[in-house]
Structure 1
Amino acid sequence: MTLDDLLAVSALDRTLEPALKGAIDGKAKPPGALGRIEELALTLGLIQRRLKPVVDRPTLLVFAGDHGLTRSGVAAFPSSVTVAMVDTLLAGRATATAFARAVGAEVRVIDAGVAADLSDREGLIHAKVAFGTADASVEPTMAEDQAEAALLAGGRIAAEAIANGADLIALGEMGIGNSASAALLMHRLAPARLDACVGQGAGHSPEGLERKRSVLHQAAARSDATEPLDVLVQFGGYEIAMMAGALLASAKAGVPVLIDGFIGTAAALLAVRLAPAARDYCLFAHVSAEAGHRVMLEGMDARPLLALEMRLGEGTGALLAVPLVRAACALLSEVAELSDVLEAAR
């Protein structure tokens, strides 16, 4: 698969839209009574191209990577926490893995660019492009061939999960410093004022947050990149690039993608700027408490399903939306027809 292949996403085929709307309106309920769930059912039917969409094998892909920006003080924790959290995810003791069990989702953890040798970790998908990115405040985070390699790796990983039965892809991430990278991506790709994009990430004191803003202004001043691939090269992370690639491959396969929080939405923004038709396949799970997330969602004309004041990442918000997706499928496949109910009442 080449990058051109990955970017060749077809716009959503809306041929079934009248039939799907008719089926939803014909269920045993007043028209529109289920609000957003009816919209979700319609979207799922269009993506899967069937009148009775099915989600039996939701799969969370958690991409992990480190960021050179952490050396300049943009994060409240050191990069070593990324390794510790990868191990926690693999052990099934992270929040994401607990939530995945609660909603019946599978989890795959991927080393996209962790700054440590994880070759001995069993159960980890090894896709490392490099041992972390360079420091965006002084130089591009990656070379163009590395950016392309990360996009393609994410695409291959999602395609393999789908070939193995995944019918809903949820995207998660783990990487100290990645909210800083996501803020820079949002700044250039939304576009939006940089200060509106910068938030607390994993947790900052007021002094730490001011330091983060200062470093990101330094990074933004270094390059005037606005084209999506160039923005990725200048400011991105390997895990963010792989998430974007996974979204693109899922869209090509006609599989819906649950987008998580601020960093996941930045990856979706990158994917949509690379291939605008990919937007049709995105289900935005929640609006997080991270500064800038609501602005980025509004810029993508995205209406999140949940608002729980979360800002953890890992795909946790996406997982909590899985039951809503399954409920929307059940509306079309399990609910009686209104005509049958009225006939029985006569």
Structure 2
Amino acid sequence: MATASRMRPPAGSRPRAASPNLTALLVLDALRTWVIPAAASAIIVAAAALSAAGLVSGAGALAWAIVAALVLLLYIGERPLLAPDAPRRDQLLGAAVGLVWLAVCYLPFYTRIFPGAPLVDAVEVKANGSGLPVHIPAAGHRAIDLVLEGKLPPNPTGGAQPPVHYRLTLEGQGVRRVVEGQFEDTLKTQRLGRRGTTVVHQSHNSELRVLPNPGAQDLAVTQLTLEPESAPAVTLSAFAHPLPGPVVLGLAVATLLAAIVAFDRLGAVAETDGALTLATAAVIGAAIIFWTSNAVHPDFRTLVGSAIFGGPVGFAAGALLWWVAKKLIARPAP
């Protein structure tokens, strides 16, 4: 009994609170401060470098870079949820919103980089009718992506190659349409340092055309005219257009923006001041330019151009939307 009494804690003493897991706190703090942005930035740089060196597939590297950039934007928009004292419920909601946001924002880039199985795969056609007609099994598809790749005749003088104008006739269900365009080569002067310059070729020898197919029926290329007639053959490929129509796309964009505005305004990320809303609008702007660009095989230059021209416009629209949201939607009391 005496031994038992000596083992009892003194009267009035309190049990010691369990100390927090120091390792978990360090990991969480690293994630909150530098690990995620550093890893995302490293992936972007590595993907661009490996693609430029030809060590990995350009399409795969571009896809990884886009995912990393989206993760970086998502981190900026949801960083407060990585704080140790953030409510568990808010963290779970933020994770769910983040996963949906990442998937929805990545989808238009993915479908542009990886168009899927071709309906017509690299068929060569000539102005003399060789290779025609080209049957396109487009039944069930409301639009198709028609890819045209041409070759320019050589220039005996060594300058810019002469342009090739094409005129393509497409028929289906009694409807006849004409697709026209031009392949060309231009010479431009590019600066090298402060004083040096060099002449570079900029060749435009491929085009992507999104063609509506209202009847969702099979189509056929029945005629090709080339100027000059001696121009090399044109290679045709066709893919089912992966995105829905403009109305559905507009509703999807509006729904996404409304959900993100509500999350930013009513959720637990008040200190970011609408960062995810701004990022969403900027991504939408970049995706529009990325999809409407004429590049047949998008690369890092296409992505950078889309970010430069579409990103700021989307960001400005997002800033206006966020300003309106702050005027109309009151934040809940803490």
TM norm. shorter chain > 0.5: no
Q: Pick the structure with more strand per residue.
A: 2
Which of the pair has more CA radius of gyration? 2
Q: Pick the structure with more helix per residue.
A: 1
* RCO higher in structure (CA 8 A, sep ≥6): 1
| Structure 2 length-normalised TM | 0.29
